[in-house]
Chain A
Amino acid sequence: MGVLALQGGVREHQFLLEGLGARVVPLRTPPDLLGPDGLRVDALVLPGGESSTIDRLLRLFGTDEPLRDAIRGGLPTLGTCAGLVLLARTVLDPAPGQGSLGVMDVAVRRNAFGPQLDSAEMDLTTALGPARVAFIRAPRVETAGPGVEVLARRGDAIVGVRQATATGIAFHPELTGETLFHRRLLADATGASQAA
């Protein structure tokens, strides 16, 4: 399992995945992702952090293109919070010059639930089952294309989506020890490697 480790909550994802029996490697530069024999990882986590910072570093190190190709090619991927913003086709309120990987047909708004002041831990009903999660300066999905499955809502707001092998969630399951989404990612990775 690869966890993008340019900035953000890397260690929490690592602990959760290792607790589920996975081996975790940090990904920073293209050689971390791509070896001579192709992809070095069976699945990918894009952690929370500051999406504008991670986006900038992805482009600076040239990790954005191979990452985009890998996800489009079917690498099982879970993006949390800033990771959801990176997956989105459109960021409605970008920082100056901010882009995204653009691999999911959704438009997102950053910090859609207010500043750090309004961060909260809560129980959420999701398509995968009930989940205890944390929202911190969370984004929300404003529009989702026809190929996108909605996994979770907070009130009216869409906060969890899935398209092909990519899952994007606006919240942090890793901070509350909620394993639902990571178990699904591991199952996707096992399925994908068996199919291959």
Chain B
Amino acid sequence: MLKGGVIMDVVTPDQARIAEDAGAVAVMALERVPADIRAQGGVARMSDPDLITGIKQAVSIPVMAKARIGHFVEAQVLEHLAVDYIDESEVLSPADYVHHIDKHAFTVPFVCGATNLGEALRRIAEGAAMIRSKGEAGTGDVSEATRHIRTIRHEIAVLRATYESGPEELYAAAKDLQAPYELVREVAETGSLPVVLFTAGGVATPADAALMMQLGSDGVFVGSGIFKSGNPAKRAAAIVKATALYTDPGAIADASRGLGEAMVGINVADLAAPHRLAERGW
């Protein structure tokens, strides 16, 4: 039950303990945070099982780990390691440029990234139990996360309006979204995704996290933003506080005081297209 919570990227058991102590609802165990993957380049893969097991032993909250897009054997390994969630993630180098993992073949729940509603519904059709808007990981620039959550929410609102005005138009809507009609109809009827919708990518401050919550996110992933900052423990706790009290500017102001240096950011606009992770996945 992760809703309303903050999920933090960690690369060591010590970081995992700091995250748990700060009130994270889960941690993402990985070898390099996205900012370092971006800086160091090369092929990014599933983490060493020893690292994942070490982090699992360090904390009592759920532990997630990333598999490459389409790499169903990495997912089999992660399921064998009994991680609590698998993130089929564009932050790693894709293993398949056509197919995502058939997530119905697993019992462990999957979280997948999406930049729009059609992409989210394709992942749900494949068996994803949780969607996160992608944002642009490892930048500290929240603009892409904002765009993706706004896009998904807007497209849901359009479907809802179509359902009210002319449900026979949902067949064409499904064609345009490139998503199964049954899922499109369900979203149109209920006005929400059938799974939880978190936000990720570039969240670096308490106000960033509260922005995502006010935009309708069920919770927030913070990747490089915490452990690439000056005072990780304090920033982690502050982001948790702002996420819980996301409609209270006074509380967000208090959470934002004296946090030290935020992670050094990269403007997404300055990133050449091949280096944009959000464009991975289809």
Residues of A with Cβ closer than 8 Å to B? 5-11, 28-29, 47-50, 52-53, 56-57, 60-61, 81-82, 93-97, 110-111, 115-117, 136-137, 172
Contacts and interface: CB of A to CB of B under 8 A. Distances in A.
B1 A136 contact: yes
Residue of B2, B17, B60, B108 most packed against chain A (CB within 10 A): B60
Given A56-B23, A137-B62, A50 B2 contact: yes
Contacts, number: 91
4 closest cross-chain pairs (CB), A and B: A116-B84, A7-B4, A48-B1, A50-B25
Interface of B: 1-5, 17, 20-26, 59-62, 79, 82, 84-85, 107-109, 237, 240-241, 243-245
B108 A50 contact: no
B3 A9 contact: yes
Contact of A50 (B21, B61, B237): B61
A6 B84 contact: no
Residue of A9, A29, A47, A56 most packed against chain B (CB within 10 A): A56
Contact of B3 (A29, A49, A93): A49
Given A5-B4, A49-B1, A110 B60 contact: yes
Contacts of B17: 96
A48 B5 CA distance: 12
Contacts of B84: 115-117, 137
A60 B22 CA distance: 11
Nearest to B196: A9
Contact of B60 (A47, A56, A93, A117): A93
A52 B16 CA distance: 14
Contacts of B61: 50, 52-53, 95
B82 A57 contact: no
Contacts of B25: 7, 49-50, 53
Q: Is the interface of B mostly helix, strand, loop or mixed?
A: loop
B21 A10 contact: no
A111 B62 CA distance: 10
Given A50-B25, A50-B26, A116 B5 contact: no
A155 to B, nearest CB: 20
A83 to B, nearest CB: 10
Contact of A117 (B1, B21, B107, B241): B107
A49 B23 CA distance: 12
Nearest to B108: A117
22 contacts: A6-B4, A8-B3, A10-B3, A47-B1, A49-B3, A49-B5, A52-B20, A52-B23, A52-B61, A53-B5, A56-B22, A56-B240, A57-B23, A60-B241, A81-B1, A82-B1, A95-B21, A95-B61, A96-B21, A97-B21, A117-B79, A137-B62
B1 A9 contact: yes
Contacts of A93: 60
Contacts of B245: 28-29, 61
Contacts of B5: 7-8, 49-50, 53
B150 to A, nearest CB: 20
B273 to A, nearest CB: 36
Contacts of B107: 117
Contacts of A137: 1, 62, 84
Given A95-B60, A96-B17, A116 B3 contact: no
A15 to B, nearest CB: 11
Contacts of B237: 60
Given A49-B25, A52-B61, A95-B60, A116 B85 contact: yes
A44 B25 CA distance: 22
Nearest to B192: A11
A62 to B, nearest CB: 12
B203 to A, nearest CB: 17
A193 B154 CA distance: 43
A95 B59 contact: yes
Contacts of A52: 20, 23, 60-61
